[in-house]
Structure 1
Amino acid sequence: MTQLHIESMGHGPDLVLLHGWAMHSGIWSSVRDHLMQQFRLHLVDLPGHGLSPMCEPGTLDHLAEIIADILPERCMLGGWSLGGQIAMELALREPQRVQKLVLISTTPCFAKSDDWESGMERKLLQLFLENLKLNYVTTINRFLTLQMSGDRDAGKILSQLRKHFFQRVEPDPSALEKGLKILQQTDLRGRFVAIQQPVLLLHGENDVITHPAAADWMHQNLQQSQRVMFAHCGHAPFLSYPEQFVTCLNEFRIHA
């Protein structure tokens, strides 16, 4: 069993947060201190990211199994981007433990297809995969820039994102490659509708990585959900609107 790096702090109901592709748990630093005043906060480094070692085979199913091993008995689970797909999988597998679900700038299907216009072009995802092997730093910087596209404070937030990214060791190349393959291949739409927990959907209205229409689709296909769209915001609302982000989670904790 892989020993994941987890930072736990604060008091209150358990909140587990999963970061996105190529990132690490330090990405939550702008909201961490406020969240730990209301929650027992658990920040997880996914395998091969941050301070967690890589593990094989690195599929979505395997990642969900590993995270399931460290989940509290009852918790609110939040996931950003790729972390959101892992959170969806866990909500379906562990309905007794995952009491509430927070999906941040994520989608049940990242890749565009004939019956799914709300995804990224498959060619772009493939290009990231190919370029990773040629020029890692340039490819990562392009990905970070894309995340901030359409954000009202793109330059400022991009600087924060780059600072967070390079705070820890580089992600394992295999973890990056396998993570991109998850984004390319995963389509949870068929199973997504079976999620029964209360769900909070947080999404930037200008997100070009996970299109806002994906949040609309999820809202329409969930049994009980709340949707918050952040104006003039790209792919990282917790960086663009940290205070509003924390308020949303606190209100969801109390009222959902």
Structure 2
Amino acid sequence: MNRVVQQTPLVLIGGWGVDAAMLLPLFERWPGEIHLVSLTDAVMSRCESVADVAAQLLDRYPGRSVWAGWSQGAQVAMAAASLGGPQVGRVITLAGFPRFVAGPDWPSGMSPETFADFRAGVVSQASQAWRRFQRLLIQGCDDHLQARQELQPWLQQGASVSPANLIRGLEWLETENQQSLWQEIRVPVLHLQAEQDAIVRSWAETFTPAVTSEVVTVPGMTHWPRKQAVTLCRDEICQFVFGKGDSWEI
């Protein structure tokens, strides 16, 4: 019988235009308080960069915690780890990336031309562009009808951030380059890559992160982890945070 693991606070950060609560199934019955952070107007309006967001969150959550970031939230979590000292005990990235837009030394990113087209769509029709982006979260799944049904409540909820801050988030995606940070970080990190990601190309074969980091490509996982990918992610997270043979199920 697995022993009960100790109480462990979790800071869970969402990505561009997505609600962090969409990831709660991965952390069901987590043994500790979960602090949900979505990149809403309340966060974005006070910050000029990813590092600013990380610094504000470190002030808000000063206790030692596990930090997890989804997509753009992964960059926030990694920035917090580089700034926060002992209060960031471990980091988990989900469908994360050190850079979003491709460059000469980063072939895994979105092409600058595709990014420019997407940004133009957000500028001209933010709501429609946001909805198209949300649908990309499930592109690549093998049960598209069910996935659309599961996504529908989040689409109906609408974006929790204004068009101006959606654009600000895109500016951060365009300019933020954390390659050196990811290669030099000393905090233990688990990078969970999505095999079927339609938004972020896997960098597992082209980029080597720090020796304190582990990279796992999750079979069948789309940008939004669902179904079997949730179970696989939970297994990897449990082993990474609590050790082999432990479980947070109580």
- TM-score under structure 2 normalisation? 0.85
Runs of 5+ in structure 1 lacking a partner? 1-10
Instruction: Give the residue type in structure 2 aligned to 1:171.
Output: V
Residue aligning to 1:136:
126
- TM-score under structure 1 normalisation? 0.84
Contact 1:110 1:184 survives alignment (8 Å): yes
Give me the whole-angstrom Cα distance separating, in 2, the residues matched to 1:67 and 1:241: 28
User: Shift of the alpha carbon at 1:145?
Assistant: 2.3
Alpha carbons of 1:154 and 1:35: their partners in 2 closer, same or farther (altered >3 Å)? farther
Aligned residue pairs, count = 239
Contact 2:65 2:89 survives alignment (8 Å): yes
User: Shift of the alpha carbon at 1:116?
Assistant: 1.1
Query: RMSD over aligned Cα, in angstroms?
Result: 2.3
Residue aligning to 2:8:
13
Residue aligning to 1:184:
174
Give me the whole-angstrom Cα distance separating, in 1, the residues matched to 2:194 and 2:43: 31
Residue aligning to 1:75:
65
Contact 2:55 2:83 survives alignment (8 Å): no
Mapping of residues 1-256 of structure 1, within 5 Å: 12-32=7-27, 34-36=28-30, 38-48=31-41, 52=42, 54-167=44-157, 170-212=160-202, 214-217=203-206, 220-237=208-225, 241-255=229-243
Percent identical residues: 24
Once the two structures are superposed, what CA deviation does each residue of 1:14-35 show, in whole Å capped at 9, x if it has no partner?
A: 1111011001232124335x24
Once the two structures are superposed, what CA deviation does each residue of 1:80-116 show, in whole Å capped at 9, x if it has no partner?
A: 0000011111111113111101011011011011121
Once the two structures are superposed, what CA deviation does each residue of 1:183-239 show, in whole Å capped at 9, x if it has no partner?
A: 111111123222111111111112132211x24455x32122222222222212256
Alpha carbons of 1:239 and 1:25: their partners in 2 closer, same or farther (altered >3 Å)? farther
Superposed structure 1 runs of 4+ greater than 3 Å apart: 215-218
Runs of 5+ in structure 2 lacking a partner? 1-5, 245-250
